[in-house]
Structure 1
Amino acid sequence: MMDTSNSSTGTHFTCEVNKDLEPFTYIYWLIFMVGFCGSCFALWAFTWKDNNQKCLSVYLINLLIADFLLTLALPFKIVVDMGYASWNLKIFHCQVTACIIYINMYLSIIFLGFVSMDRCLQTIQSAKLYQIQKRGFARMLSTVVWALVLSIMLPNMLIPIKDIPEREHVGCIDFKTQIGRDWHVLSNFISIAIFFNCSAIILISNCITIKKLYSNKDGEEASNIKAALIKIFLVTAGYIICFLPYHSVRVPYTLSQNDVITDCSLKQVLFHAKESTLLLSVSNLCFDPIVYYYFSNNFRSKISKTFSLKRHETIVIEKENATETAV
């Protein structure tokens, strides 16, 4: 649990927390493969020319770009956590790919908030709010979001790290200078604020949408309204499962990283709680294709046509085989 080393200045204790990560890596591989396939299919669907591209499509495409960033970063984390990475690869992961994972997380949170807000505005159908539902406004807002998230996360990549002796179990925080640690803490608390604000947007937007739809549930389009309600509940549940657990442990974990919490056993518990909940957050890579399916006509149409074509081909082959057998 503890490493002890003697020096001329006394005894130094190091609490090793980032151990026993291999079990997590198998789930990460599964998430990576499922998410990568889903993202590639979404990219294929979104490459269809859409002259009537709506505001919602802009947010979904930005969400897809963020997902591809995550697919680039996950293999590095998996190799490092399995213990197969060289020292230089560990440094690269801590400086670059670990930050990309968090860039994806907060871009996903923000754009899912915008998706919920756009659905709410479509339900309200207010002429006063028409301007913010235009494609140009969505593009401008998306650019601002990317600039905001990158301005928060990129300093974690760019602030110089300190040189430390090679050892088996090393955390990314160990590479950071005091300035790097301070920015790390600041960026964590800004990110938590982003999460709570976007959660409020999603909660309020979905409550308004549900109330509006529920008031018409007995009308002529009752079946469509029920389907829309199910979509909203699914998206909200997916958002909560992916992101709420991680943010419930992030504050105490950040405090443990900076030795505000000093008990070694508690640090180890918080680290594994962080890794477990980060796994749920990364699983948004598998959750996002469900969002594309429910909110993108292109994506849904592509899936329907692809699988209906496959079913048609299967029926034709079966008929041909039956004919050959009869002959």
Structure 2
Amino acid sequence: PCPRRCRKGRFSFLPGRRETVWAHVNNSNCTSDNKISQVIFPLLYTILFLVGIIMNSLAMWVFFKISSKSNFIIFLKNTVISDFLMILTFPFKILSDAKLVSWVLRGFVCQVTQVVFYFTMYISILFLGLITVDRYQKATSPFRTSTPRSLLGAKILSTAIWISMFTLSLPNMVLTNKKKTPKSVKKCAFLKSEFGLVWHEIVNYICQLIFWVNLAVIVVCYILISKELYKSYKRTRCTGKASQKTVNLKVFIIIAVFFICFVPFHFTRIPYTLSQTRDVFECSAQNTLFYLKESTLWLTSLNACLDPFIYFFLCKSFRKSLIDMMCKHTASSELGARMKEQNEGDDTDETPL
């Protein structure tokens, strides 16, 4: 049995053992409020899943009717794929957190679907950064058109992002390899090997770097875009082209989505990860960090429902295709209703001579 001094987390008395091992022991008895984790969060994710699956299915249907004629559309197509994959992980999290199925599913969530969730999150962050750079180039060179060479470069860059993030994420699946039991699946960190915990921490710092670099790129690009819009405003102030100024402001939807969805989570993730891999927080602090992490993680999931607004407001091809599709559907529905009325009316008419 573990001596009293090691149960208190004093690692200096245990030479040759990593702090992360004793973090497992010390954190195993720290549990959170079941009502919040089993009822409220599953309900919130259910709402996101229902809204997100409809919006992103429609977005995918529209996008793959549009040719990849610009870097912007290529990046948007990759974003919608990423969002759709993220949404497909929600049912597993809902069922696992609500404890509506066997504890075995929780092990699958820790090993597979949770990794896919974070994998797609950072892909979305990277593509939002690229979309912002593209919008800056559009603001400074509005008449610039994409060349076959630039389209090929955008496709290669997109493929490289998917491969790099998959390579970074795969070890988190492989190293979550400890025996799954009803007790060990309570926290995903309990299923990771010793090196798995180290790799998890390394990946966390790499992902933090991805986020902060993209945040810096987005902020700088929007400062430059704001300058361009102000110059445009000064030029058109005396001509009364107010509609043009209003349309230009739609580009700020990207930075709004980024700050709402991703910034809160990344201020929470590092201390939460430390609470999972090192014994540096009391149980009450661990629970507080858990609720903060889950709340801000829900905001990151909200990104999958907000991205379709980016597609609609900033992509003319998407907006035109969606409106045309809805008009055709409405027209065909009205035609069908008229034909039905006529057919119903024919049954009451006298048979002509």
Q: Which 10-residue stretch deviates more, 73-82 or 203-212? A: 203-212
Partner Cα distance (1:159, 1:169) in 2: 14
Q: Which residue number in structure 2 is paired with residue 125 of structure 1? A: 141
Structure 1: stretches of 5+ with no match in the other structure: 1-6
Identity score, percent: 31
Q: Which residue number in structure 2 is paired with residue 306 of structure 1? A: 325
The alignment covers a number of residue pairs equal to 315
Structure 2: stretches of 5+ with no match in the other structure: 8-24, 346-353
Q: Which residue number in structure 1 is paired with residue 53 of structure 2? A: 36
Q: Does 1:248 align with 2:267?
A: yes
**Aligned match for 1:269, one of 258, 266, 288:** 288
Instruction: Compare CA radii of gyration and give the structure with the larger one.
Output: 2
Q: Cα 1:168–1:251, aligned 2, differ >3 Å: closer, same or farther?
A: closer
CA contact (8 A) 1:18 1:169 kept: no
CA contact (8 A) 1:45 1:298 kept: no
Q: Which 10-residue stretch deviates more, 132-141 or 247-256? A: 132-141
CA contact (8 A) 1:46 1:299 kept: yes
Q: Does 1:173 align with 2:189?
A: yes
Q: TM-score, normalised by structure 2?
A: 0.81
Q: Which residue number in structure 2 is paired with residue 295 of structure 1? A: 314
1:11-49 per-position Cα deviation (integer Å, ceiling 9, x unaligned): 776212474312111110111111111111111111215
**Aligned match for 2:165, one of 130, 146, 149:** 149
SS at structure 1 position matched to 2:247 = helix
* Matched residue type, 2:64: T
Partner Cα distance (2:69, 2:84) in 1: 21
Q: Cα 1:269–1:301, aligned 2, differ >3 Å: closer, same or farther?
A: same
* Matched residue type, 1:241: I
1:64-93 per-position Cα deviation (integer Å, ceiling 9, x unaligned): 111121122111111100012323211111
* Matched residue type, 1:255: L
Q: TM-score, normalised by structure 1?
A: 0.87
1:168-219 per-position Cα deviation (integer Å, ceiling 9, x unaligned): 9711111111100000111011101100100111111122112112211242
SS at structure 1 position matched to 2:86 = helix
Q: Which residue number in structure 2 is paired with residue 162 of structure 1? A: 178
Q: Which residue number in structure 1 is paired with residue 252 of structure 2? A: 233
1:149-175 per-position Cα deviation (integer Å, ceiling 9, x unaligned): 112211101225212542397111111
Partner Cα distance (1:44, 1:129) in 2: 25
Q: Which residue number in structure 1 is paired with residue 81 of structure 2? A: 65
Q: Which 10-residue stretch deviates more, 251-260 or 190-199? A: 251-260
Q: Which residue number in structure 2 is paired with residue 26 of structure 1? A: 43
* Matched residue type, 1:170: K
CA contact (8 A) 1:18 1:171 kept: no
Partner Cα distance (1:288, 1:60) in 2: 9
Partner Cα distance (1:98, 1:86) in 2: 17
Q: Cα 1:47–1:169, aligned 2, differ >3 Å: closer, same or farther?
A: closer
Q: Does 1:207 align with 2:223?
A: yes
Partner Cα distance (1:71, 1:131) in 2: 33
Partner Cα distance (2:222, 2:307) in 1: 18
After superposition, where does 1:85-96 map in structure 2 within 5 Å? Answer: 85-96=101-112
